[in-house]
Chains A and B, each alone.
Chain A
Amino acid sequence: MLHFELVTPEKLVRSEDVHMVVVPGTEGDFGVLEGHAPFMSTIRDGELQVHRSAGGAVETIRIEGGFAEVNARGLTVLAEKAE
């Protein structure tokens, strides 16, 4: 499972283990699965797709401004706004 965190300046929105997250990067969307190589990208305003399990329901979260970082611990998305 991929450890996924979504934080805004006001609070920690999500911190959970999921199957996959699709992030709206500045240069195109990218999906992050467990074991992704270290990666960093700024994000554009758009929708974050959270796949809780393979082929399961998809949850979308609207985010604005920020960046995403993938490291050995998982995926961290820092957004200025998330809802």
Chain B
Amino acid sequence: MASLKALKLRIGSVKSTQKITKAMKMVAAAKLRRAQEAAEAGRPYAERLEAVVSSLAAKVGGADNAPLLLKGTGKSDVHLFVVATSDKGLAGAFNTNIARLARRRADELIKQGKTVHFYTIGKKGRGVLARLYRDRIVHSVEPGDLGKLKFDDARGYAEDLVARFEAGEFDVAHLFYATFKTVLTQEPTEVQLLPVPVPPAAAADAGGAVVEYEPDEESILADLLPRAIAIQLYRAMRENAASEQGSKMTAMDNATRNAGDLIKRLSIEYNRARQAAITTELVEIISGAEAL
């Protein structure tokens, strides 16, 4: 049995760990609230833009001169996986889950004879993927604190991706991130980023009235598509920010509870050891007295 002193030290150290995890949990809760508000604040823009792009795409989409970003290269040989994770750990399985989904999809495509490349956003996702696909990672960026992310950052990544697409580096791009469902569940999600998917248009949006365009539909669409990609990236990273904090909160709550259990167990052990020491001392005194 461990000595009394060692046990006492151990309890002290677990207690201070518990204090830290408790503080981290509260910080995550505060950040989560802010991240959720930010995610909601961005929704009107994304919804409007999406509606306009889909109605325009429905008009122009079939044409031969449709923008490259919309109609794609016509092949699906080279796939680019844009895997958005965070730069920091200590958030439970948040980063691992996203990377795992990307890995599973990558393996499926590789089995079909396709080429898969990775474009990682966030240190942690890169770490997991580099172990298996080191030479397939074409580019990595580190966004820093997801909560402080600005639209300009997302636009920078989007411009880079569009430039790579136009240079013919890949045919299809998929985006991986975690959708924030509740504090307890964050769902790893995959969406197609490029070519821009065309959702079934919300027909008769203008109530049948003829809409005038300035400049023409094609030019507006060409102007909007890169923005649509940027907004999708931005939205994914906002979701990630909320998911990361939610996941961190749960992980830290578990850690705090585990530390509590450990302290309870160690305290019992400590009390037993102390009681044993007292008993031994008593036995010594009594047998000493009897010997007289």
What is the interface of chain A, defined by CB distance below 8 A to chain B?
A: 5, 7-12, 25-27, 37-42, 65-67, 69, 71-72, 76, 78, 80
Residue in A9, A11, A38, A78 whose CB lies within 8 Å of B212: A38
The interface residues of chain B lying within 8 Å CB-to-CB of A69 are 48, 52
Across the interface, do B52 and A67 meet the contact criterion of CB distance under 8 Å?
yes
What is the interface of chain B, defined by CB distance below 8 A to chain A?
A: 38, 41-42, 44-46, 48-49, 52, 150-151, 154-155, 205-207, 209-215, 219-220, 223-224, 227, 230-231, 234
Main secondary structure of the interface of A (DSSP, over half): strand
Across the interface, do B213 and A78 meet the contact criterion of CB distance under 8 Å?
no
Given A26-B215, A67-B224, answer yes or no on A9-B234 (Cβ-Cβ < 8 Å).
yes
User: How many Å lie between the Cα of A38 and that of B41 in the bound state?
Assistant: 26
Across the interface, do A7 and B48 meet the contact criterion of CB distance under 8 Å?
yes
The interface residues of chain A lying within 8 Å CB-to-CB of B227 are 65-66, 80
Task: Given A25-B214, A40-B214, output 11 extra A-B contacts at Cβ < 8 Å.
Answer: A11-B41, A37-B212, A38-B211, A39-B211, A42-B215, A42-B224, A67-B223, A69-B52, A71-B207, A72-B209, A78-B49
Residue in A12, A25, A71, A72 whose CB lies within 8 Å of B41: A12
The interface residues of chain A lying within 8 Å CB-to-CB of B150 are 10
User: How many Å lie between the Cα of A71 and that of B41 in the bound state?
Assistant: 22
The interface residues of chain A lying within 8 Å CB-to-CB of B213 are 39-41
The interface residues of chain B lying within 8 Å CB-to-CB of A80 are 151, 155, 227
Closest CB-CB distance, A44 to chain B, in whole Å? 11
The 9 closest A-B CB pairs, nearest first, are A41-B214, A11-B41, A38-B211, A9-B151, A7-B45, A38-B209, A39-B212, A38-B206, A7-B44
